[in-house]
């Protein structure tokens, strides 16, 4: 098991000591995280790493996952797409079913001192708020810069009942009478997905998937989701391939609360079958070492998202000092300063152009990667994330201490 002290060489002794001091101020409090999936996606990944570390700091933290059927998650996927600005229609029956499932879950959950609700799926649990001494926080992990007005109107009736809200980027802030805090997500540098790997491990993973490391490899790691634009990645690859030799890897999995994933995966597989240099890899949840190896062994990393709350795979790639090209959307510009710590792109054509440039200029690519790694070290590691959350939790019991955006 990773110990909190293991982060000292990376984050510094003072940072770890500060975490212990903050944790002491939460003595006797229980922090209850609630979301919609235990597997797949950034929220589950962060919580799976953070909960044990909070326990080592002496903080009582737990994690509950709401239950829902296929119909419920089809509705919440519509919410997800609509809040990202995708034109969508949701009828009154679907809104009612969403509320019904939330109420069923609320009846089965015993709420603790601090109820930390993640994303829209469990947002209506706040209807069950009763006991005066408890604090409720809603944490939004998605790109909220252009939410569908009707969906936002529906959700805002619940958001305004929370004690505080948390967003990942300033552009996501909303006009609501509730304190809003900016806390960016993070990666764990000591997890299987991000720790250092021996070259023979990287070689063995590439060999297993039939990828030739002697030729340039361009990789996108992400859920198979329309908003990650995997088909746009393939188009960019085809344009770049006309000028430079390369292989393309599209690797990732799905999430239990995302019913669209298998359909997108099938479309990607159909395209990949037309070109032997395209590798579409559907990876199970236990594939952290494989993902780590694919990122470390690649020449260039892509994250061509159309919308993105933050983009943990960007931070993962930058931490590995890899030249990274990513969509200039959502929380990604927090991680990449264009032409300094990576490349921000706005189109298929632009993505193809920068793929060619980085493959053709390895020294420049290496400099981008080195700058990117230091930016992640200074801003987006799990120790900083835990500190921000501890400060938030402590402030909930001290009037006037919450910092507004």
Does residue 64 share a domain with residue 49?
Answer: yes
- Which tens digits make up the pLDDT trace of 327-344? 999 999 999 999 999 999
The kind and range of the H/E element at 33 are strand 30-35
Q: What is the CA radius of gyration of the chain?
A: 21
Within a domain: residue 194?
A: no
User: In terms of domains, do 63 and 171 share one?
Assistant: yes
What would the pLDDT profile of 150-170 be if each residue is shown by its tens digit?
999 999 999 999 999 999 989
Cα distance between residue 269 and residue 252, in whole Å = 12
CA dist 308 and 211 (Å) reads: 28
CATH number of domain containing 390: 3.40.50.2000
Token look-up 């060999």 returns: 207
pLDDT tens digits along 279-302: 999 998 889 999 999 999 999 999
In a domain, residue 401? The reply is no
Q: Distance (Å, rounded) from C-alpha 309 to C-alpha 147?
A: 12
Q: Are residues 153 and 214 in the same domain?
A: no
Are 162 and 271 found together in one domain? no
Same domain for 163 and 246?
no
Are 82 and 142 in a shared domain?
Answer: yes
**Domain range for residue 9?**
4-186+381-395
Q: Is residue 400 part of a domain?
A: no
Whether 48 is covered by a domain: the verdict is: yes
191 within some domain: no
Region 221-247 average pLDDT? 95
What is the average pLDDT across 315-330? Answer: 97
**169 belongs to a structural domain:** yes
- For the record, the structure tokens of 386 come out as 């835990």
Residue 131 pLDDT greater than 90, yes or no: no
244 plus 110 within the same structural domain: no
Q: What residues does 280 pair with on adjacent strands? A: 250
List Cβ neighbours of 218 (8 Å cut-off, separation of 6 or more).
237, 240, 246, 247, 248, 249, 298, 299, 300, 301, 302, 355, 359
Number of domain units in the chain: 2
pLDDT at 132: 65
| Residue 76 is assigned to a structural domain of this protein | yes
Q: Whole-model pTM?
A: 0.91
Would you say residue 403 lies in a domain? no
Measure CA of the first residue to CA of the last residue in the chain; give whole Å: 36
What is the predicted pLDDT for the residue at 85? 82
Cα separation, 89 vs 78, whole angstroms: 8
């Amino acid at each position: 098991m990773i110990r909190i002290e293991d982060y000292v060489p990376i984050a510094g002794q003072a940072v770890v000591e500060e975490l212990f001091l903050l944790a002491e101020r939460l003595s006797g409090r229980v922090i209850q995280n609630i979301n919609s999936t235990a597997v797949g996606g950034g929220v589950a990944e962060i919580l799976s790493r953070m909960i044990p570390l909070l326990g080592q700091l002496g903080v009582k933290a737990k994690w509950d996952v709401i239950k829902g059927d296929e119909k419920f998650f089809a509705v919440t996927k519509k919410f997800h797409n609509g809040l990202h600005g995708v034109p969508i229609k949701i009828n009154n029956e679907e809104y009612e079913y969403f509320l019904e499932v939330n109420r069923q879950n609320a009846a089965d959950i015993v709420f603790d001192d601090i109820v930390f609700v993640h994303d829209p799926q469990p947002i209506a649990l706040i209807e069950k708020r009763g006991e005066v001494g408890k604090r409720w926080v809603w944490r939004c992990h998605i790109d909220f810069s252009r939410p569908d007005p009707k969906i936002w109107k529906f959700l805002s009736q619940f958001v305004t009942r929370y004690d505080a809200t948390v967003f990942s980027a300033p552009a996501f802030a909303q006009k609501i009478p509730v304190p809003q805090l900016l806390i960016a997500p993070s990666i764990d540098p000591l997890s299987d997905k991000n720790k250092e790997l021996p070259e023979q491990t990287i070689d063995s993973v590439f060999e297993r998937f039939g990828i030739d490391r002697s030729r340039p490899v361009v990789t996108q790691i992400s859920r198979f989701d329309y908003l990650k634009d995997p088909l746009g990645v393939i188009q960019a690859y085809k344009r770049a391939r006309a000028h430079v030799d390369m292989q393309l890897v599209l690797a990732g999995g799905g999430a239990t609360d995302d019913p669209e994933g298998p359909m997108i995966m099938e479309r990607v597989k159909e395209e990949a079958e037309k070109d032997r240099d395209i590798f579409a890899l559907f990876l199970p949840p236990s594939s952290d070492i494989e993902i780590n190896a694919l990122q470390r062994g690649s020449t260039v990393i892509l994250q061509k998202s159309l919308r993105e709350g933050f983009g943990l795979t960007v931070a993962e790639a930058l931490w590995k000092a890899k030249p990274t090209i990513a969509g200039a959307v959502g929380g990604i510009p927090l991680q990449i300063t264009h032409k300094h710590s990576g490349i921000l792109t706005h189109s298929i054509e632009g993505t193809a152009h920068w793929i060619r440039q980085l493959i053709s200029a390895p020294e420049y690519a290496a400099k981008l990667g080195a700058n990117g790694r230091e930016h992640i070290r200074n801003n987006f590691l799990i120790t900083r994330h835990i500190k921000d959350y501890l400060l938030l939790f402590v402030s909930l019991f001290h009037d006037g201490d919450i910092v507004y955006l």
